[in-house]
């Protein structure tokens, strides 16, 4: 047991949770922290840093959920993070305690990392999770044998079944972690003189940490250039082969672990039988794809059917609120900004919470049940001919929610060419920001009719998502031909056991993602709504005064209330047309006219280049400006009322589909461009991406409009 240090008494103790991927780390993290979570970035990289607070018996503990890793030999950026956090030189930055989570049925693999952590001299405790699965597979573990061999506290838990969680809380609260010191003497494979020199140079006290610095410090850009050069010179001077040393270390470590496992594991039954059950169906060469397609169809059907009721309520609520606020506040620009700019803008954000929560909920279920890994395996053979990798499926499926985490997930792909292709095509997947645009436009032009149990609107939505996939595959194929590399590629994916989803985790994901959408996208949408309202309400003063004067003159001559109403409406429309935003919209009208768009849609397109989700709030603002203050129509009703000079609806079938196709392909997200810039370290790829996606969007929308109109 560790005696509480001064730092752990005076400040909140930091506990890092680490383990191999899919061992239940996040489930334990969620159970310990509940809603007290926040997501940030690790310094130096964009990998999500999930931290949370555990409150227990009047004390608080900071819990860090580290990315899954198999060893302290980082191969991907996620693993680099875990490596950096645990190898910190600064004691204040380093977690005081480390909770190592191991899948009870994969003991050897988990112990490999655990013994490396012991060698690093960390205060450690081991959690043997998924005890229920081990029991199901007839695997008995003598935890005392492991404790005897490693000398660190061991707990057996089933986090999904909420068994053993109080023991984890007690363990953290009592600081029942142990610093064993060493499992393997690294001096057996690396000259002690070299290790001592590194320890002296960097002020270390641990030989294994010195070895880690030798092995990875020279390529880690977080280490000062001067220090990296020093390590390089040392290694070159001694002509020492570190890769051979790593191989030797791995062999010795596994040999020792095998002895422990032989003593600790009572019985291990082959898992082949279990895998042949559900996998024979989900990975079937025909049924596997049929099931995958059916699952996608069910998701889209649910997004439409279940979300429509709360969406209609939210839409109606904001329309009514806009009218009420307009009545209550005194006339003036601020009142108009609230009623015509801010309220419709906020409404344009809040209305999509039900759909976004549902989409993320479904994605969480697919991930949590272990099905997503099967999709990676299933799709690999179809990805290869297009220059993609089985692992590209994860970025692409994540791209359905948002391209940003999707592009960041591409860092799991080791092959440079496949990674670049994945980054370039992921924004073509229909993200959740496109969903509001699709939903509004489909609702306007596609009848709400069903064929059997399949709804026509849901089918159209699915069609748009499939179109995104076609765009992905076509573009990837072209890039495969253009880009050249000699790197070889392979697929290695772990198929985790099938589990029932943890509903609390699903709910937490839905809550966190919706909150992020409202707070992040919402702020941008709100800021753009404010600016847009000003640009739509003001214009060159002389021209605006001229329009107002002409309107007043006509109004003075009006004979009937109907004529007066007609004149007010015409004047409002002319004021908008001559406003700053109207001038911008009309400037691009010649370019977008062949796509079936008028200058008002042009304004929405301009605003959407920052973030496509502002489309709905933009048109809501534009069509609210100068409208009847008592008019509390919903966004969809307002769009449906827009008529062209020739009498046809502005949002007819051809225009609506042309718009949907444009939004399906266009690069309209500055945040995505910023992430592509960060991931590729330059403007070359983001620029190529913007140009090709805009060209693709324009040409496809042109084709669709010309064919349908």
Partner 1 sequence: MVQEIVVGILVLAALGYLVKKFFFKSKGEAGCDKCAKP
Binding site for partner 1 (CB under 8 A): 41, 43-46, 76-77, 80, 219, 221, 332-335, 337, 411, 416, 419, 523-524, 526-528, 530-531, 534, 610, 670-671, 674, 678-682
Angle of CA points 375, 377, 383, to nearest 5°: 90
Given the complex with partner 1, which of 404 and 442 has the nearer CB atom?
404
Given the complex with partner 1, which of 80 and 189 has the nearer CB atom?
80
Given the complex with partner 1, which of 266 and 531 has the nearer CB atom?
531
CB 615, min distance to partner 1, A: 17
Per residue, the 3-state secondary structure of 383-450, as one string, reads: HHHHCCCHHHHHHHHHHHHCHHHHHHHHHHCCCHHHHHHHHHHHHHCCCCCHHHHHHHHHHHHCCCCE
* DSSP labels, 653-674: HHHHHHHHHHHHH---BHHHHH
Given the complex with partner 1, which of 526 and 708 has the nearer CB atom?
526
Given the complex with partner 1, which of 531 and 587 has the nearer CB atom?
531
- Asked if 86 contacts 120 with a C-beta cutoff of 8 angstroms, the reply is yes
Given the complex with partner 1, which of 81 and 547 has the nearer CB atom?
81
Given the complex with partner 1, which of 283 and 530 has the nearer CB atom?
530
Given the complex with partner 1, which of 46 and 652 has the nearer CB atom?
46
CB 342, min distance to partner 1, A: 8
Report the chain's terminal Cα–Cα distance, integer Å.
Answer: 77
* Contacts of 640 by beta carbon, 8 Å cutoff, 6+ apart: 444, 649, 651
CB 385, min distance to partner 1, A: 23
**Cα distance between residue 389 and residue 379, in whole Å:** 9
Token pair, residue 512, equals 């966190």
CB 238, min distance to partner 1, A: 25
Q: How many CB atoms lie within 10 A of CB 93?
A: 11
Q: Tell me the CA distances in angstroms from 352 to 362, 438, 484, 620, 661, one per residue in order.
A: 16, 12, 42, 14, 20
CB 425, min distance to partner 1, A: 17
Residue at token pair 């020492």: 240
CB 102, min distance to partner 1, A: 27
CB 308, min distance to partner 1, A: 32
Angle of CA points 31, 407, 223, to nearest 5°: 80
Given the complex with partner 1, which of 131 and 342 has the nearer CB atom?
342
CB 119, min distance to partner 1, A: 24
Given the complex with partner 1, which of 465 and 533 has the nearer CB atom?
533
Token pair, residue 283, equals 């990975």
Exposed, middle or buried: residue 166 (CB in 10 Å: 0-12, 13-18, 19+)?
A: exposed
CB 406, min distance to partner 1, A: 14
CB 433, min distance to partner 1, A: 15
- Asked if 169 contacts 28 with a C-beta cutoff of 8 angstroms, the reply is no
* Contacts of 657 by beta carbon, 8 Å cutoff, 6+ apart: 441, 445, 704, 705, 708
**Of 432, 387, 393, whose CA–CA distance to 412 is shortest?**
393
CA dihedral 354, 359, 361, 362 (to 10 degrees): 140
């Amino acid at each position: 047991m560790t005696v509480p240090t001064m730092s752990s008494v005076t400040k909140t103790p930091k506990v890092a949770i680490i383990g191999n991927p899919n061992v239940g780390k996040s489930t334990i993290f969620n159970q310990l922290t509940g809603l007290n979570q926040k997501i940030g970035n690790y310094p130096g990289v964009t990998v999500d840093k999930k931290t949370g607070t555990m409150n227990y018996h009047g004390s608080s503990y900071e819990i860090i959920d580290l990315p899954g890793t198999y060893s302290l030999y980082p191969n991907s950026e996620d693993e680099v993070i875990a490596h950096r956090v645990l190898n910190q030189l600064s004691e204040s930055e380093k977690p005081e305690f480390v909770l190592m989570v191991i899948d009870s049925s994969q003991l050897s693999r988990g112990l490999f990392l655990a013994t490396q952590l012991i060698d690093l001299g960390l205060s450690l405790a081991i959690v043997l999770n998924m005890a229920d699965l081990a029991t199901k597979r007839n695997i008995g573990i003598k935890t005392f044998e492991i404790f005897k061999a490693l000398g660190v506290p061991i707990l057996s838990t089933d986090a999904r079944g909420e068994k053993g969680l109080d023991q984890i809380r007690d363990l953290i609260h009592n600081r029942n972690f142990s610093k064993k010191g060493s499992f393997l003497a690294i001096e057996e494979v690396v000259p002690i003189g070299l290790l001592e020199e590194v320890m002296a140079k960097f002020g270390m006290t641990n030989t294994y940490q010195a070895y880690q610095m030798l092995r990875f410090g020279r390529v880690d850009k977080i280490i000062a250039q001067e220090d990296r050069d020093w390590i390089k010179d040392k290694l070159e001077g001694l002509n020492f082969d570190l890769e051979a040393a790593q191989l030797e270390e791995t062999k010795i470590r596994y040999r020792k672990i095998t002895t422990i496992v032989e003593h600790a594991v009572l019985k291990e039954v082959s898992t082949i039988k279990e895998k042949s059950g559900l996998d024979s169906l989900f990975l079937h060469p025909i049924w596997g794809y049929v099931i995958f397609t059916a699952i996608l169809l069910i998701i889209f059907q649910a997004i439409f059917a279940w979300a429509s009721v709360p969406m209609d309520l939210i839409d109606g609520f904001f329309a009514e609120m806009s009218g009420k606020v307009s009545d209550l506040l005194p006339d003036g620009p601020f009142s108009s900004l609230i009623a015509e700019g801010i309220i419709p803008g906020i409404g344009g954000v809040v209305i999509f919470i039900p759909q976004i929560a549902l989409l993320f909920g479904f994605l969480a279920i697919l991930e949590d049940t272990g099905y997503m890994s099967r999709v990676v395996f299933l799709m690999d053979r179809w990805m290869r001919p297009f220059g993609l990798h089985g692992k590209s499926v994860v970025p692409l499926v994540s791209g359905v929610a948002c391209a940003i985490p999707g592009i960041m997930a591409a860092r799991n792909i080791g092959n440079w060419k496949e990674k670049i292709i994945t980054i370039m095509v992921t924004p073509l997947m229909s993200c959740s920001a496109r969903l509001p645009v699709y939903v509004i436009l489909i609702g306007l032009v596609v009848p709400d009719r069903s064929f059997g149990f399949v709804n026509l609107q849901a089918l159209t939505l699915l069609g748009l998502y499939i179109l995104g996939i076609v765009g992905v595959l076509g573009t990837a194929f072209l890039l495969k031909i253009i880009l050249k590399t000699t790197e070889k590629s392979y697929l290695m994916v772990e198929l985790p056991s099938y589990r029932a989803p943890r509903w609390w985790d699903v709910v937490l994901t839905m809550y966190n993602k919706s909150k992020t959408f409202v707070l992040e996208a919402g702020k941008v949408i709100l800021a753009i709504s404010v600016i847009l309202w000003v640009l739509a309400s003001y214009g060159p003063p002389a021209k605006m005064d001229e329009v107002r004067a002409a309107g007043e003159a006509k109004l003075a001559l009006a004979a009937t209330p109907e004529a007066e109403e007609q004149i007010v409406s015409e004047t409002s429309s002319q004021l908008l047309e001559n406003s700053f935003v109207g001038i911008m919209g009309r400037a691009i009208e010649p370019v977008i006219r062949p796509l079936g768009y008028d200058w008002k849609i042009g304004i929405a397109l301009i605003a959407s280049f920052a973030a496509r989700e502002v489309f709905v709030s933009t048109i809501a603002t534009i069509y609210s400006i100068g409208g009847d203050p008592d008019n509390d129509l919903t966004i969809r009703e307002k769009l449906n009322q827009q008529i062209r000079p020739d009498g046809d609806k502005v949002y007819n079938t051809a225009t609506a589909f042309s718009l949907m196709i444009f939004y399906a392909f266009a690069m309209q997200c500055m945040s995505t461009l910023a992430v592509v810039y960060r991931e590729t370290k330059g403007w070359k790829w983001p620029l190529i991406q913007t140009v090709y996606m805009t060209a693709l969007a324009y040409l496809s929308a042109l084709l669709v409009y010309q064919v349908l109109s």
